A and B are shown apart, each in its own frame.
Chain A
């Protein structure tokens, strides 16, 4: 089959690799019909996530048709159309039983590595480094899905891929981050980053009853999409973010601050430059510019919710501010399985049509160009959807 393989920093290639096969009794094989490039894939593309190896198949936002099931998979049958959560979860450990699927105890074969770095191993993920499982990803024609009796959800007829494929990651990720804001009537939520996760966080915060959503970015088309989603926007390249936030909230600060940027935050601020200098001197690994700003901006006793990925060690966090203002922090990989059904219902009811975020649709064979366009934020690119079954280039933008 064809699969998108990582070959080094900013070097991904579509290679011909063996087809996946059933390995464990609870596996299924999916023929992929739609698979997206995630913002978090750009961390891999940039070569900054540890334990990625040449030849690893990337991709963790995919859906398709069941073509084979292992003997223990009773809930799926060949021909079912399914979305596949990016978190691989056993469904039977302490954490899965409590709905904390991304903390699954049993799905990471390389848990020793994660335990060494983090103290404990989180769930295995598709196509996201060996430390997090080393599972082949879904930017391919086929994928092996472990614990297929727990993860994949069958999609009813009549819903096109474009409307449901983001149930695999970014819609639940934005939604969980908004839910973590514990939104109360009258609340103002500030969201840093208007990439795909930020866009879903904006719409989720609105759905969850936020009175105002303030979105922060510096890319014009992303700010425009944020406004379409109901946000007030701050262009951080033109305005002082903290000043504007205080002005908009009468000096109190947002009730919750949501970081949809993560550990590769960049910016022209002095502290960002200091982070980068320290990174080059190996003093830290993660740039925490956005997180610092969120802590300072957040109102007293407010919540800081992290959806953007952090991977290693950050520095100079204003813990005194966090402590003395009594902030609550919520974060983590998304417990995708928990959100599949409720968010599918929202799509069916018409609360949201997740296809709004797609700007580019490409055949799988053009995935390397898709990565480049997305990474460069070129051509108005916000979200790239790949179609293994498609031949040649589709017209874009807005191929959806």
Chain B
């Protein structure tokens, strides 16, 4: 028996839960558990729900229902304008965080989905992202609102094939607790090839992409580097049947 692709009768719930979490891992050599496509407005919530099923049963599901409610307010207003909100607290001065972000050429350092951003003048910049099989999507953006050191808002210009924009707000956390960073990003993917490229950009999990970007920003600002295991050694990875075994065996 299975539900959402999960082996409901897995005798080892932690293993099943692990398989679900592993499906979230990016990078090489990780066996992927194919999951059905979910529209982005379900975002992290559907992940939690499915995790609950993987974790198995009533206790886990009840726990995650609670977690889901706690998360609140995420996801989009409608299908046409997926909007992603994430926030993190960074133990650095507000001004420092603001000025690093304000130089958009820094963004690809912590937003792995960006190939490059070229600043053209005080408010205009050119953005480039990698699409599937060698394609790129490019657009121009402009800063439409800024209030140093509190807010930066940018939007793609009219010609952009994938209208998109974002806003970052910096505000002091309670004394001694650093700076809160709040990010809203939205995009309007069109139908067709470019829309597909953009969807691919976010790997159908935009919440995770923005979460990861924001935490990488934090890592970079607090430690001077971004935590990674890419390029480290490992033994022989499993074949497909072993990946399947990880899901189904106890």
Taking beta carbons and an 8 Å cutoff, which residues of A are in contact with B?
1, 3, 5-9, 13, 15, 17-21, 23-26, 47-57, 72, 90-94, 97, 105-113, 115-117, 119, 124, 129-131, 133-136, 140, 144, 146-147, 279-285, 311-313, 315
Contacts and interface: CB of A to CB of B under 8 A. Distances in A.
A90 B14 CA distance: 29
The 3 closest A-B pairs by CB, nearest first: A282-B56, A50-B18, A5-B235
B12 interface: yes
B249 interface: yes
A49 B18 contact: yes
A57 B233 contact: yes
Given A280-B11, A285-B13, A312-B14, A51 B235 contact: no
B86 to A, nearest CB: 11
Interface in B214-246: 215, 218-219, 222-238, 242, 245-246
Interface of B: 8, 10-19, 21-22, 24-25, 29-31, 44, 47-48, 51, 55-60, 63, 67, 70, 89, 91, 177-178, 208, 211-212, 215, 218-219, 222-238, 242, 245-246, 249-250
B190 to A, nearest CB: 28
Nearest to A110: B25
8 contacts: A9-B250, A20-B233, A23-B230, A93-B222, A116-B44, A119-B67, A282-B56, A313-B55
Given A18-B233, A282-B56, A285-B60, 10 more contacts: A6-B235, A24-B225, A24-B227, A47-B15, A50-B21, A90-B223, A97-B91, A108-B227, A113-B25, A282-B8
B225 A134 contact: no
Contacts, number: 195
Nearest to B70: A119
A134 B222 contact: no
A133 B227 CA distance: 9
Given A26-B224, A93-B91, A147-B223, A55 B234 contact: yes
Contacts of A124: 227
Nearest to B7: A282
A45 B215 CA distance: 31
Contacts of B91: 92-94, 97
A94 B177 contact: yes
B24 A23 contact: no
Nearest to B227: A109
Contacts of B245: 8
Given A23-B230, A119-B67, A312-B17, A130 B22 contact: yes
Nearest to A13: B235
B67 A135 contact: no
A136 B225 CA distance: 19
Given A23-B230, A136-B232, A54 B242 contact: yes
A174 B212 CA distance: 34
A285 B17 contact: yes
B223 A54 contact: no
Contacts of A48: 12, 14-15
Nearest to A119: B67
A113 B21 contact: yes
Contacts of A17: 233-235
Contacts of B67: 119
B51 A117 contact: yes
Contacts of B59: 283-284, 313, 315
A111 B215 contact: yes
B224 A25 contact: yes
A283 B13 CA distance: 8
Contacts of B16: 282
A21 B229 CA distance: 11
Contact of B229 (A3, A47, A135, A312): A135
Contacts of B60: 282-285, 313
Contacts of B22: 51, 53, 113, 130
A383 B226 CA distance: 35
A125 B247 CA distance: 24
Contact of A282 (B10, B19, B29): B10
A15 B236 contact: yes
Nearest to A147: B223
- Residue from A1, A25, A110 with most neighbouring chain B CB atoms (10 Å): A110
A115 B88 CA distance: 12
Given A94-B178, A135-B232, A117 B21 contact: yes
A26 B55 CA distance: 37
Given A1-B233, A54-B242, A94-B177, A131 B225 contact: no
B51 A109 contact: no
Contacts of B177: 94
Contacts of B228: 23-24, 109
A117 B227 contact: no
A107 to B, nearest CB: 5
Contacts of B89: 94
B235 A116 contact: no
A371 B227 CA distance: 30
A47 B222 contact: no
B227 A5 contact: no
Contacts of B14: 48-50, 285, 311-312
A105 B60 CA distance: 26
B57 A283 contact: yes
A116 B229 contact: no
Contacts of A49: 14, 18
Nearest to B18: A50
B56 A283 contact: yes
Nearest to B232: A136
Nearest to B71: A119
- Residue from A56, A105, A282 with most neighbouring chain B CB atoms (10 Å): A282
B235 A57 contact: yes
A293 B226 CA distance: 43
Given A48-B12, A280-B11, A313-B60, A109 B208 contact: no
